[in-house]
A and B are shown apart, each in its own frame.
Chain A
Amino acid sequence: MASIFTLSIAQSALELGCIYSLVALALFVSFSILNIADLSTDGCFTLGCAVCAMVTIAGHPVLALLAAMLAGVCSGFVTAFLQTRMGIESILAGIIVNTGLYTINIAVMGFSSNVNLFNCKTIFSMAKEAIGGIWYKLLVALVIVAIIGILLALFLNTRLGLSIRATGDNADMVKASSINPAFTITVGLCVSNALTGLSGGVLAQYQKSCDINLGTGMVTIALASLIIGETLIGKGSVMRRVIGVILGSCLYRFIVAVALRLNVPAECLKLVSAIIVAVAIAFPYLKKKVAFFKQKTAAGSKYGKGGKA
């Protein structure tokens, strides 16, 4: 094991795990809580990344992260608007926004498919000057995730948060409680996409670049993290679930790190994550099937093929 895990690999897996856990938290809000498959995640992640990159280049690294969140909110609002006010199916609304965002993302980056942030001041370079050492990146990522995680858990326990949770849990009951589901879906998707945008923004500063294809497959990766987290930690209080999602994201990055160490080519990683998601979602179903099959064969051997004892 020691040869697979060097300290630096574990460190970067944790850093990326924390950064990508923000998208996983976004899907936690939209997919787990609101029960909506928000397929605009890929485009929104790139949007956050692009917006953050441009503002960072302009010299405002902290403002850049807020701008990335705000861009995410706008994207989430459009997705929500399409499904709550225009009668478009939620999945289709996400796909439409995702397609539109491609052009917008290119436009944000000044009609180029990538931008670099070399020699720009970022929150990471600021932390390096302030703290130094080798752990500053992880520290920054951890602080951001901790703040967001706590704020999200607090928010989901407010009356508004409860309304959003109830919308995904039982829409009939929400209407009977005088809550407008169109409103709660809109707020939920805005919050969710703000997190997606922030995740893209932090990544832009972390890797000092932004690429138009950065977000491709992000929804699958985030889903993998989310499902790993929910399988490991299970359900419970909101705080517990939020922590589960963050741990799931870190674990996913460790799996990827191991895959890379085992000389799986980098191009294959998307396939690996697709397989992880498929297996993780299918697992409970397959477990039931296997149990049933065992019961059937046990009954078969007891009573014989003819059904007689």
Chain B
Amino acid sequence: MLDMIHVSKTFHPGTVNEKKALRDLSLHLDDGDFATIVGSNGAGKSTTFNAITGAFYIDEGRVLLDGEDITYQKEYVRSRVIGHLFQDPLKGTAPHMTIEENLSLAYLRASKNRRAFFSHINSADKARFREHLAQLDMGLEDRMKEPVGLLSGGQRQALTLLMATVVTPKILLLDEHTAALDPATAEKVLGLTKKIIAEHHITCLMVTHNMHQALELGNRVIMMDSGKIILDLKEEEKRNITVEDLLERFRIQAGKQLDNDRILMST
């Protein structure tokens, strides 16, 4: 499904701020894989996501999605088939537009014909939106005319999740998307995430700082350090490993302790 082949990216090359964010990174995801990514601060987790979404072009290597070379494809073109959620719940929705207006933009990804541009939201659309919103179980289906800015962070993140998956993406990238929410809301959004991914059989990459979450969710766990993947555990291996083992493996592979303070706080 996803292939990253010898990908490298250096920010601010030739200056004092030079940062080798990705070093010869290769990653292959199978159809339906759900991999969690853990790693220290600045390990290149978000940079990996941005290399996939096209927020910047990579210096070396290639990115293939579903067999198609997207290395130099523009960001907005790729986003047709890539869902991306950020830690900041404000990033994924337009605050001054209503819930139904936001949702109808998400549906634009599905429509290839240009006439859709001049269509209005009709009652069939509204019925469909209502049905989708009801799944979130947050009462949003009765607030479709309200601006999104009035919603709580958790509600906005749930809506963003819906918008990213309402047209099933080829791959879903979750960048600590529950980290900024309160524990109860985070639990709820995570539950929705699991449900949607399972229902639509979506290939997914998820960055998390919660080691328990990393081991509990999905069928793969990937550890990153200094722009490289240093550990990639699949199925069987992943099921049998404990958080302590994982931290130990990291220490051996990276030659240092895992220094992500948020990871340490949550273990």
**What sequence of 0s and 1s flags, for each residue 89-114 of chain B, a beta carbon within 8 Å of any chain A beta carbon?**
01111111100011011101101000
CA distance A192 to B102 in the complex (A): 23
B95 near A177 with CB under 8 A, answer no
Q: A165-B97, A169-B97 are in contact. Are A177 and B79 (CB under 8 A)?
A: yes
A157 near B121 with CB under 8 A, answer yes
Residues of B within 8 A of A181 (CB): 76
Q: A165-B97, A173-B92 are in contact. Are A159 and B76 (CB under 8 A)?
A: no
Q: Would you list which residues of chain A between 142 and 168 have a CB under 8 Å from chain B?
A: 154, 157-160, 162-163, 165-166
A179 near B75 with CB under 8 A, answer no
B116 contacts the other chain (Cβ, under 8 Å)? yes
Closest CB of chain A to B82's CB: distance in Å? 8
B97 near A166 with CB under 8 A, answer yes
Closest CB of chain B to A290's CB: distance in Å? 26
Q: Which of B101, B116, B121 has the most CB of A within 10 A?
A: B101
A169 near B96 with CB under 8 A, answer yes
A176 near B117 with CB under 8 A, answer no
Which residue of A is nearest B75, CB measured? A175
Residues of B within 8 A of A172 (CB): 86, 91-92
B21 contacts the other chain (Cβ, under 8 Å)? no
A177 near B109 with CB under 8 A, answer yes
B118 near A158 with CB under 8 A, answer yes
CA distance A179 to B116 in the complex (A): 13
CA distance A173 to B95 in the complex (A): 10
B76 near A175 with CB under 8 A, answer yes
B17 contacts the other chain (Cβ, under 8 Å)? no
Chain A-chain B contacts (Cβ-Cβ < 8 Å), number:
81
Closest CB of chain B to A272's CB: distance in Å? 31
B188 contacts the other chain (Cβ, under 8 Å)? no
CA distance A193 to B114 in the complex (A): 23
Q: A166-B94, A169-B95, A170-B91 are in contact. Are A177 and B117 (CB under 8 A)?
A: no
Which residue of A is nearest B149, CB measured? A169
A169 near B108 with CB under 8 A, answer no
Which residue of A is nearest B55, CB measured? A175
A178 near B77 with CB under 8 A, answer yes
A235 contacts the other chain (Cβ, under 8 Å)? yes
B120 near A158 with CB under 8 A, answer yes
Residues of A within 8 A of B214 (CB): none
Closest CB of chain B to A178's CB: distance in Å? 4
A159 near B92 with CB under 8 A, answer no
Residues of B within 8 A of A112 (CB): none
B117 near A180 with CB under 8 A, answer no
CA distance A160 to B118 in the complex (A): 6
Residues of A within 8 A of B77 (CB): 178
Closest CB of chain B to A63's CB: distance in Å? 25
Residues of A within 8 A of B101 (CB): 162, 165
CB < 8 Å neighbour of A159 from B91, B94, B116: B116
CB < 8 Å neighbour of A177 from B74, B96, B105: B105
Q: A159-B117, A159-B118 are in contact. Are A179 and B108 (CB under 8 A)?
A: yes
**What sequence of 0s and 1s flags, for each residue 171-213 of chain A, a beta carbon within 8 Å of any chain B beta carbon?**
0111111111100000000000000000000000000000000
CA distance A235 to B146 in the complex (A): 12
Closest CB of chain B to A150's CB: distance in Å? 13
B94 near A178 with CB under 8 A, answer no
Which residue of B is nearest A159, CB measured? B117
Q: A158-B117, A158-B118, A176-B164 are in contact. Are A165 and B76 (CB under 8 A)?
A: no
A166 near B105 with CB under 8 A, answer yes
**What sequence of 0s and 1s flags, for each residue 19-57 of chain B, a beta carbon within 8 Å of any chain A beta carbon?**
000000000000000000000000000000000000000
Residues of B within 8 A of A163 (CB): 105, 108, 117
Which residue of B is nearest A157, CB measured? B120
Interface residues of A (CB under 8 A from B): 154, 157-160, 162-163, 165-166, 169-170, 172-181, 235
Some 25 contacts from A to B, beta carbons below 8 A apart, are A158-B117, A158-B119, A159-B104, A159-B105, A159-B117, A159-B120, A160-B117, A160-B118, A165-B94, A165-B97, A166-B102, A166-B105, A170-B90, A170-B91, A170-B93, A173-B92, A173-B93, A174-B94, A175-B79, A176-B83, A176-B84, A179-B76, A180-B74, A181-B76, A235-B96
Interface residues of B (CB under 8 A from A): 74-77, 79-80, 83-84, 86, 90-97, 101-102, 104-106, 108-109, 111, 116-121, 163-164
The 4 closest A-B pairs by CB, nearest first: A169-B94, A160-B117, A178-B80, A166-B94
